[in-house]
Amino acid sequence: MGTSALDLATIIKAFLVLEQEKFFPAQMWEAINPSQVEVFELLATRRDEVAKLRDLVGSAKSHPDFSISVISVLDKTVRWLDGKAQQKTIKRENKNYPGFKLKKGCSVYTVEGFEDSPLLEIVTKNGDRLCLMMHTDQLAGMELVKTVFDVLKAKRKFHLEYEMSVEASIPCVNFDLRPDISFLVGAFASKDGNNWTISKADQRFRFRMNEEGARALVETSMMILGCCIERNPRKKKIVIDQPFIGWFMQSDCDFPMAVFYADVDSWKDSGKLENL
């Protein structure tokens, strides 16, 4: 299956924009499948957290053909405390991948229920965090995002096999994906005697991580149509040499942004973050 990604922050932002622009109150939407139910539950319970996200914007407009378009964009960039990190080769199954080594801001945790998946949390220059958790079971779609929410809800503590602050070797990552968010199609809202239905939903998810930092650029768009109706010595270093789940965390908010699963197909030189 390879690398996958899905961002719910931009999806929820799109519904909040529709509400802010006086099109549809958030609670008006009706779900027709389990994935929509999960999205609308998050919209109801986590909307205030999404509203706090600084790097997230959106807009909506109506069209003469009795339709409404909405777009939301997440442009999240973090820079390492190290400045420009040292380049480092990551070895996996007799293959070499480009990577880098961080010496500052890195801590390793063990998460209840995910004891075989060390969680690396990286504090960046602006105080925001990038989280990377090695996980060899391939995940995609809502299953991927739900796994991250499970991680965030679970108890965690410093990993006993690692020192409190570690040196981290991490592969460079570069991908440009179009996650399938067609599960949103068919959700509907009724207003002023008319039914409005999501007829199209698209997402583009670009991500780049290298010795400079990491940047995620996610664009979500929807079209809504109206109609009638015994302990070993603690380790000093961690090497991310397995496929991993990643996500961004704003310093004052616990809503995960730009969730991705980076398999080795995306481990490659990524160029400058500005050119994403």
Report H helices in the chain.
8-20, 34-51, 141-153
- Identify the pLDDT of residue 1: 63
Whether pLDDT at 161 is above 90: no
pLDDT single digits (tens) 170-197 = 999 999 999 999 999 999 998 877 889 9
- Identify the pLDDT of residue 229: 47
The CA-atom distances, in angstroms, between 11 and each of 16, 188, 195, 212 are 9, 15, 21, 28
Whether pLDDT at 151 is above 50: yes
- Identify the pLDDT of residue 103: 93
One DSSP character per residue, 140-190 reads -HHHHHHHHHHHHHS-EEE-TTEEEEEEEEEE-EEEEE----GGGTT-EEE
Q: Report how far residue 6's alpha carbon sits from residue 40's, in angstroms, rounded to the nearest whole number.
A: 16
User: Could you give all domains of the chain from N- to C-terminal order, each with its CATH number?
Assistant: 4-76+176-227 (no CATH), 78-173+230-275 (2.30.39)
- Identify the pLDDT of residue 234: 67
Name the pLDDT band for 75 (thresholds 50, 70, 90).
Answer: very high
Q: Report how far residue 254's alpha carbon sits from residue 48's, in angstroms, rounded to the nearest whole number.
A: 11
- Identify the pLDDT of residue 272: 87
Q: What is the mean pLDDT of residues 27-50?
A: 94
Cβ-based burial of 115 (10 A; exposed 0-12, middle 13-18, buried ≥19): exposed
How much is the mean pLDDT over the chain? Answer: 91
pLDDT single digits (tens) 47-63 = 999 999 999 999 999 99
Report percent pLDDT > 70 for the chain: 97
HSE, CB side, 13 Å, CA atoms: give it for residue 181: 30
Of 164 and 45, the one with more pLDDT:
45
Of 79 and 83, the one with more pLDDT:
79
Q: What is the mean pLDDT of residues 152-179?
A: 91
Task: Please give the structure tokens belonging to residue 115.
Answer: 């004891």
Q: What is the mean pLDDT of residues 12-34?
A: 93
Q: How far is CA 55 from the centre of its chain?
A: 13
Whether pLDDT at 213 is above 70: yes
pTM score, whole prediction: 0.83
Q: What is the mean pLDDT of residues 228-254?
A: 79
Name the pLDDT band for 237 (thresholds 50, 70, 90).
Answer: confident
Give yes or no for a contact between 103 and 81, defined as CB atoms under 8 angstroms apart: no
Give yes or no for a contact between 246 and 260, defined as CB atoms under 8 angstroms apart: yes
Q: Report how far residue 199's alpha carbon sits from residue 187's, in angstroms, rounded to the nearest whole number.
A: 8
Name the pLDDT band for 231 (thresholds 50, 70, 90).
Answer: very low
